[in-house]
Amino acid sequence: MPYFGLGAAIVVLILLSMSLRILREYERGVVFQLGRFWAVKGPGLILLVPAMQQMVRMDLRTVVLDVPPQDVITRDNVSVKVNAVVYFRIVDPQKAVIQVANFLNATSQLAQTTLRAVLGKHELDQLLAEREKLNLDIQAILDSQTEAWGIKVSTVEIKDVDLNETMVRAIARQAEAERERRAKIIHAEGEQQAAEKLLEAAKILSGRPEAMQLRYLQTLTNIAGDKSSTIVFPMPIDLMKVLLESARTS
């Protein structure tokens, strides 16, 4: 009898070890009973019926998926290599187990094809300058397609865009030409504004002869300050008339 009691106790311990499961706060257990979905359990202590119920453990934490470099041909026929990182998590453990065989591999393959498809619709300049918008477009497409698997794609970030050396040199030449164009435009605008101001000043001086005389005298004063050269300048006719009239009256 003692041997029978000891054997029964051992059997009970084995059954308990087979039926008890402990799930952490970020884990859920998808329980199947006789092959059919029964319930989603957890977190905490879970009791399973041996030989009748099986459990698949699922992690609900955010998964960081590194998308390997993809060969992308942009809309303007430029070949680039682009890699990205995808952040997603399981929001429905039942769907993640039942609707897809391997949700991690399925999400990775879908991210690669979506990355090539979305970036192939844009030109190289957009790929380099509008990265934030492209991230949102890829994230929205992935999230809509993985929703049936119980997966929520929260963020997609394009990491690197690799160009060959020929294209890098071409972009550098284009950027230099753009800088020269802007410099010429700024210089031309400055010349235009200066000409407009000179024209306004000429109109004001032409309407006020005394202002013209004062400006002339100021110019002579500035020239006289430079003693390193000899300057010959004409006498204004208006000023000569004034001096002649003064001599006659005297």
Rounded Cα distance between 39 and 60, Å, is 16
Assess if residue 115 is contained within a domain.
yes
Q: Are 104 and 156 members of one domain? A: yes
User: What is the predicted pLDDT for the residue at 141?
Assistant: 95
Token pair, residue 8, equals: 């029964």
Q: Which residues pair with 157 in a beta bridge?
A: 85
Domain membership flag for residue 198: no
Contact 116, 89 (CB under 8 A): no
Domain assignment present for 130: yes
pLDDT of residue 205: 63
Give the count of beta carbons closer than 10 Å to the beta carbon of residue 3: 7
Domain-located, residue 3? no
Give the residue numbers spanning the domain of 250: 207-250
Contact of 45 with 21, CB cutoff 8 Å: yes
Does residue 201 sit within a domain? Answer: no
* Whole-number pLDDT of residue 29: 94
Which pLDDT value is given to residue 136? 95
What pLDDT score does 10 carry? 73
Helix H or strand E encompassing 98: helix 93-98
Q: Which of 41, 59, 77 is the last residue of a domain?
A: 59
In a domain, 193, yes or no: no
- Asked if residue 117 and residue 38 are part of one domain, the reply reads no
194 belongs to a structural domain: no
94 and 47 housed in the same domain: no
Query: Residue 249 burial (CB < 10 Å; 0-12/13-18/19+)?
Result: exposed
Domain shared by 31 and 74, yes or no = no
DSSP label of 217? H
Q: Is residue 156 within 8 Å of residue 144, measured between CB atoms? A: no
Q: Is residue 178 part of a domain?
A: no
Q: 23 and 112 share a domain? A: no
- 84 and 26 co-located in one domain: no
Phi/psi of residue 106, nearest 5 degrees? -65, -45
Q: Is the bond preceding residue 209 a cis peptide, omega within 30 degrees?
A: no
Number of domains, the chain: 3
Same domain, 126 and 222: no
Residue ending a domain, among 115, 147, 168, is 168
CB 67 within 8 A of CB 112: yes
pLDDT at position 157 is 95
152 with 113, same domain: the answer is yes
Please tell me the predicted confidence (pLDDT) of residue 169: 65
119, 106: one domain: yes
pLDDT in tens, the chain (250 residues): 455 566 666 766 676 667 888 899 999 999 999 989 999 998 998 888 888 889 999 999 999 999 999 999 888 888 899 999 999 999 999 999 999 999 999 999 999 999 999 999 998 888 888 999 999 999 999 999 999 999 999 999 999 888 877 665 666 666 677 778 888 888 888 888 888 877 777 676 666 665 656 666 666 666 666 555 665 556 556 555 655 665 566 5
Q: 75 and 98: one domain?
A: yes
The strand pairing partners of 40, in sequence order, are 30
Q: Find out whether 82 and 70 touch, Cβ atoms under 8 Å.
A: yes
